[in-house]
Amino acid sequence: MSILVTGGAGYIGSHMVCSLLEQGRDVVVLDNLVNASYAALERVQALTGRCAIFIKGDVRDRSTLEHIFDSHSVNEVLHFAGLKAVGESIEQPLRYYDNNVGGTLSLCKAMATAGVRRLVFSSSATVYGHVERMPIKETMPTGRPTNPYGRSKLMVEEVLRDLCRTDPRWSVALLRYFNPVGAHESGRIGEDPSGIPNNLVPFISQVAIGKCGALPIFGNDYPTRDGTGVRDYIHVLDLVEGHLAAMETIARRSGVSIWNLGTGQGYSVLEMIRMFEKVAGRPVPYTIQRRRDGDIAECWSDPSLAERELGWKARRGLEEMLVDTWRWQTANPRGYG
C-alpha cells in the first residue's frame, strides 16, 4: 500500500517523504511546485536511496486525483499542499480559499470515491486566534484567526469534522502545528522561502549569512518577559515524528482527532536572536519596528495530549533546531536554486 503526500516537495512535506522512504514505505507525491523545487525530492532520493513516485499536478484537479487513486493502491493521505503566506492571503483571499479550502474539498471527494478515508491534515495554532491564557490545549475553543490563511485552516477543520460526523468510516487527524523550524541533519533539505522570508527563523538565518541587512523585530512593547513576541518553535523532524505517531493512531480510530504539535516551551524574538548568534558565531543585527498587524503577544502549546495519546514528544531543543537551520543555510546559501 502507498501513502499519498500532497505538497510533498515543500518544506515539511519533503522531510516527511524522507522519513517515510527511510521506513520502507511506498510514497506518491502530488505537488504543483507553486512553492517548491523538484530538487528537494532529488535530494531526498539521494539521502534515502529510494524514490517517491512524483506527480506534478494540482490537488484541485479532479482528474489528476482520480488517476492517482486508480493507478496506485493508496490507503492513507497526508495533506500538506496549501498556500501559507499570511500577508499574501490578505491581498489574495480568493486564491487562498480556492487553493486551501477548494483543494481539500476535491481531495476528500476523490478519496471518498476511491474508498480511502484516512487523512492527516496540516492545521495550525492560528486556528486558536487570540488566547488569553497559555499554554494552549486542544480543548480550548477555536477563535477567529486574523487573516484569510488562518480562516482557510479553520474552514478546512470544520469541513473535515462534518465529513466525519456524517460518515464514521472516516478517520482524520487535525494536527495543529506551532512554529516549525530547523532542517534535516544532513543539511541537504531545508526551508527555502522565495523572496523576503515572512517567518522569523528563515529571516534571522538570511541576515546571519548576509542576504538580508537587518532583522525587523515587529514590536518590543508586548506584555512578555522582554517585550518581544513569544512562540513555540518545533524542529521539523519532531513534527515528522508526530505525523508518524498520528498515522499509527488514526489507523485504530475513527472520527476526528486533534493534536497540538509543539514543544510546550516559548521563546521570545530576542532569545531566538541570541541563540542564533551563539550557534552561527556571528552577530544578527536588528531594528525595532512597529507591531505586525494581526500578531499576538505569545503562543505556546500544551503538548501533553499528544504525549498521552500518541506516545510522541518533541525531543530536539532550540539549539539543535538552530544548528540544523544554520547548517542548511551555510551549505545552500541560494537554497535549492
What span, in angstroms and rounded, lies between the C-alpha atoms of 184 and 191? Answer: 10
DSSP state of 232: -
State in angstroms the smallest separation of the CB of 281 from ligand NAD. 26
- Site residue total, ligand NAD (CB under 6 A): 29
* Residue 269 binds: one of ligand NAD, ligand UDP, none (C-beta under 5 to 8 A by kind): ligand UDP
Q: Number of helices (H) and strands (E), helices first, in the chain? A: 12, 14
Residue with smallest beta-carbon separation from ligand NAD: 10
| Cα(141)–Cα(209) distance, integer angstroms | 41
**Known catalytic residue at 11:** no
Site string for ligand NAD, 1-20 (x = CB under 6 A): -----xx-xxxxx-------
Site for ligand UDP in 286-325 (CB under 6 A): 292, 295
By beta-carbon proximity to ligand NAD, the closer residue of 47 and 227 is 47
Marked catalytic residue, from 11, 96, 149, 286? 149
- Three cell numbers, residue 329: 543555510
Site for ligand NAD in 184-243 (CB under 6 A): none
Give the bridge partners for 55, in sequence order: 30
- 269 touching ligand UDP, by CB under 6 A: yes
Residue 293, C-beta contacts closer than 8 angstroms, at least 6 positions apart = 146
Whether 258 contacts 174, CB under 8 Å: yes
3-state secondary structure of 127: helix
Q: Kindly state whether residue 218 participates in binding ligand UDP, applying the rule CB under 6 A.
A: yes
- How far apart (Å, rounded) are the C-alpha atoms in residues 124 and 146? 13
For position 216 contacting ligand UDP by CB under 6 A, the verdict is yes
* CA distances, 86 to each of 32, 75, 147, 199, 311 (Å): 20, 32, 7, 10, 32
For residue 291, the minimal CB distance to ligand UDP (Å) is 7
Positions marked active-site: 149
Q: Interface residues with ligand UDP (CB under 6 A)?
A: 179, 198-200, 203, 215-218, 229, 231, 269, 292, 295
